[in-house]
Amino acid sequence: MVKYNENMKQLIECVPNFSEGRDEKIIRQITDAIQSVDGIKLLNVDPGKDTNRTVVTFVGEPEHVIEAAFRGAKMAAQLIDMSKHKGEHPRFGAMDVCPLVPIANITMEETVVYARRLAKRVGEELGISVYCYEFAAFSNDRQSLANCRAGEYEGLKEKLQKPEWKPDFGPVVLNEKSGATAIGARNFLIAYNVNLNTTSVRRANSIAFDVREAGRVVREGDQVTGKIVNDENGEPMRIPGTLKKVRAIGWFIKEYGIAQISMNLTDITVTSMHKAFDEVVERARERGIRVTGSELIGVIPLQAMLNAGKYFLRKQQRSVGIPDEEIIKIAVKSLGLDELSPFDPKKRIIEYLIDDQQNKLVDLTLSGFSNETLSESPAPGGGSVAAYVGALGAALGSMVANLSAHKRGWDDRWDEFSNWAEKGKQYHDHLLKLVDEDTAAFNAIMDAFGLPKNTDQEKKQRSIAIQAATKHAIEVPFEVMQTAFLSLEVIQAMAEIGNPNSLSDAGVGALCARTAVYGAYLNVRINSGELADKTYVAEILTKASNLLQETLAKETEILNLVESRI
């Protein structure tokens, strides 16, 4: 699950697949219907001409999401005629499938409840047969989407008559225009295609069978034409594929003139995108086929992209302690995600799409941040500046580590320095976040003081809000102190073992970290004066004072070391 916290707001991602990928007018009417619900953020619309299918991704709070999904299903039922639909992708309905995915502050069990509510409404109000799948399934045989959709639209009329395939909701007779739909709750799934330098679907399928978890069925003699071998229970025997939690098929995409391995990575903690890519590369090579790139359908969590970039950097024996943007760039190029169309991380990475915060201090230019501090506004003030100075100190520590990792003659130590650089980067990134958080904490105090105080109840609520905001305004600079102090470990290590040509950079890093700790300490002290909880104040000031003394001692130690080695 993507880690995201906005005042503990529950967030669900919805990824409905509609059986129309060619008519832009129809697609737009469906997405307009979805967006007509307030509180919904449309993340991605990904139409495919050959599959004749569009994958839509949006997020929001649960009630808003299921309302938007219903409106999308209703519009699709009005505009799409399944009796005339043709496409490369398996399908059996206008809104073919609609999974709900827990994103933040919501459990899978809660998500299942919303999925079943949506399914019931689609079945009853739209007259569409609905199967609940994955975690929302009412029986084990319906957990698999493939089982629910088996026979596709063409076999749906007969399937609906079978007692074991009675829909969970909706009619048991075929809705000829809209077909059926599968609505479920599932973990985050990545739809991912790997491009091949062949037009052969048979060869692409052979590679897909090599890697997918289900593998291939065992046949007598010829693996293509031979008779299927069954086990003692009469079930086809299978040779399992090499990748767990992966579904895959091969197909030809006329739009691009290539065959692809189309995969669903159903648990990226088991099989990541980069692991799947490399496995397909190897299996294709064994068959005389070359992978030319890949294609992401929909959106992806930030961590999955960072993991991919770090994986390829480590294969090159390069440091991974570099900015996220550079890591993502390596991932895109290594996976060939921009081969078929441009890949814009801002539009494809879910955390970037969710982040609605505007006018962040850390997004300003150097002069912009300085000028904002210079202005008559009290924020950003010393707390934000302390956090930023601390981020610069951690950045200098990581810079020395990166330079050391790439130093000629030190190749056997690249991994050691990469680990130091990555640790420093973590402190750097956290301190950058605290730049805006400190200013937000100050603004929260001002907002609390601005609350009405006309009645006794209002006065009480205002007082509670002021105290809560004040405590938070103490906690943020104390967190700056802790993080900047921890960064000194990286800086000291680089002063001891890092590239000797960068000793001065380590020294400046120590000075920055010390300034960050001392500056944040002053903010802890001044904000503590307004807090009524004097027991807490005494405890936090003692901790802060001790941390400051440790920092000053560590700074002296590092600077003495730097001076002795220059």
Catalytic center residues: 89, 438
CA angle 282-286-292, nearest 5°? Answer: 55
CA angle 297-133-262, nearest 5°? Answer: 30
Cβ count within 10 A of residue 381: 15
Sorted by sequence, the CB contacts under 8 Å of residue 270 that are 6+ apart come out as 244, 245
Which tokens is 330 given? 């390596």
Q: Are 386 and 429 in contact (CB under 8 A)?
A: no
Which tokens is 423 given? 């640790």
* Spatial separation of the C-alpha atoms in residues 201 and 293, rounded to whole Å: 17
The DSSP result for 232-283, as a single string, is: TTSPBPEE--S-TTEEEEEEEETTTTEEEEEEEES-TTTS-HHHHHHHHHHH
What's the farthest any 2 CA atoms get from each other in the chain? Answer: 89
* Spatial separation of the C-alpha atoms in residues 237 and 250, rounded to whole Å: 21
Q: In the 8-state DSSP scheme, what is residue 227? A: P
| Residue (of 87, 2, 14) closest to 48 by Cα position | 87
- Give the containing element (helix H, strand E) for 184: strand 180-185
* Spatial separation of the C-alpha atoms in residues 324 and 351, rounded to whole Å: 13
Instruction: Fill in the amino acid letter for 280.
Output: V
**324-335 vs 302-315: helix axis angle to the nearest 10?**
70
Provide the pairing of β-strand 258-265 with 246-253.
antiparallel
* Spatial separation of the C-alpha atoms in residues 428 and 392, rounded to whole Å: 7
Q: Are 190 and 308 in contact (CB under 8 A)?
A: no
Which tokens is 379 given? 């924020």
Q: Residue 333, CB half-sphere, CA atoms under 13 Å: how many?
A: 9
Which tokens is 563 given? 């001076």
Q: Are 138 and 132 in contact (CB under 8 A)?
A: yes
